[in-house]
Amino acid sequence: MKYETHSEYDPEDVSLLERAFLTVWGGLGAWHDDLVLVGGLVPKYLCGDVSADRTLPRPVTLDVDLGISLGAESRYGNLQLDLQGQGFHRSTGDHGETRFVKTIDNITIPVDFLTERPPATTGVATVDGVPASILPGIDRALATARSLTVEGIDLLGAEQRLLVRVCEVGPFLTMKLRAFKFRQQPKDAFDILYTILHYDGGTDAVISGFQEEIRARNPAISDALDCLRDSFDDERSLGPVKAAHFIFGQTGPNESEDIRFRRRQIQQDMVSAGKRLMLVL
């Protein structure tokens, strides 16, 4: 689920989602080598100290997205049974996709699996009996994943300290730009901007990571580059406008001068970030 603005995300729901991720990851140890975290939690983990001063609000998400190798299987269990053992059951999403969900206090927490099966760019593949949506770029996310230690409380209230495989900045931005090309959601534009501005390795490392995806011929890179050219070239382009919209909401005649100034600043930052990435073309 994605909302149109940052303010629509309840902090307790966002926290619950991260606890769900810790629960799922902790229970799928037999598959860790074939899994990588992708999606909305990635910017938080790639951008270092969450207590540091930031020019943008913190990333938010209500979905757990896991990339999985098409050939993944384990001698030590069954993927679907292990998910069920954590209280997750198969369900059908709003767009007909199969996902695993768990409901807590009337809040439904979804876990989606994504895989890659060239030359297909859409559809569903089955991995160890579990349906996974086909998405270009997942294999690059798996191949270049960064291992990070993540600490927190899981859904059972247990303290967890887990080594998590997280999608690195190059594959992440490539997939996010491709996603923005096709669905133009404000949250995707925000995630792109947040990651570029606050990546823990610095902006130069972001550019290098994106360059590497071009050299590696990431199958999502062509759409990502098209998106940069079409949607990030000036302040009134879709990317900058929707990034600012995600933070401040709909503009209007009664908007304060301070918010208007800050909105323009976000749009300018988005253009500058896009131009930095386009320098690699």
114 and 220 within one domain: no
- Say if residue 11 is in the same domain as residue 137: yes
pLDDT at 281 (0 to 100): 58
Average pLDDT of the residues of the chain = 92
Residues 174 and 152 in one domain: no
Domain boundary among 131, 146, 167: 167
How far apart are alpha carbons 78 and 31 in whole angstroms? 10
Residue 28 in contact with residue 35, Cβ under 8 Å?
Answer: yes
Residues 10 and 131 grouped into a single domain: yes
Last residue of a domain, one of 133, 167, 201: 167
Question: Which residues lie below 8 Å from residue 255, measured CB to CB, with a gap of 6+?
Answer: 263
Same domain, 183 and 95: no
What pairing do the DSSP bridges indicate for beta strands 35-38 and 64-68? Answer: antiparallel
Both tokens of 123, joined, read 């559809």
Spatial neighbors of 1 by CB under 8 A, at least 6 apart, are: 62, 63, 110
pLDDT for the residue 184: 96
Q: Are residues 115 and 226 in the same domain?
A: no
- Pair (13, 138) in one structural domain: yes
Looking at the structure of the chain, the number of domains it has is 2
Residue 21 pLDDT greater than 90, yes or no:
yes
- Per-residue pLDDT band at 77 (split at 50, 70, 90): confident
Report the phi/psi class of residue 20: left, alpha or beta, with left for phi > 0 and alpha for psi in -120 to 50. Answer: alpha
Q: What is the pLDDT of residue 53?
A: 76
Q: Distance between CA atoms of 244 and 267, rounded to whole angstroms?
A: 6
Nearest of 142, 140, 137 to residue 223 by alpha carbon: 137
Of 58, 61, 26, nearest in space to 41 by CA? 61
164: tokens are 């998590």
- Give the range of the structural domain holding residue 183, as residue numbers without chain letter: 170-278
Tokens for 180, please give them: 């923005």
103 and 220 in a common domain: no
Distance CA(205)–CA(107), nearest Å, equals: 38
153 and 248 housed in the same domain: no
User: Taking 80 as the threshold, does the pLDDT of residue 94 lie above it?
Assistant: no
Task: Identify whether 1 is part of a domain.
Answer: no
For residue 146, being part of any structural domain is answered with: yes
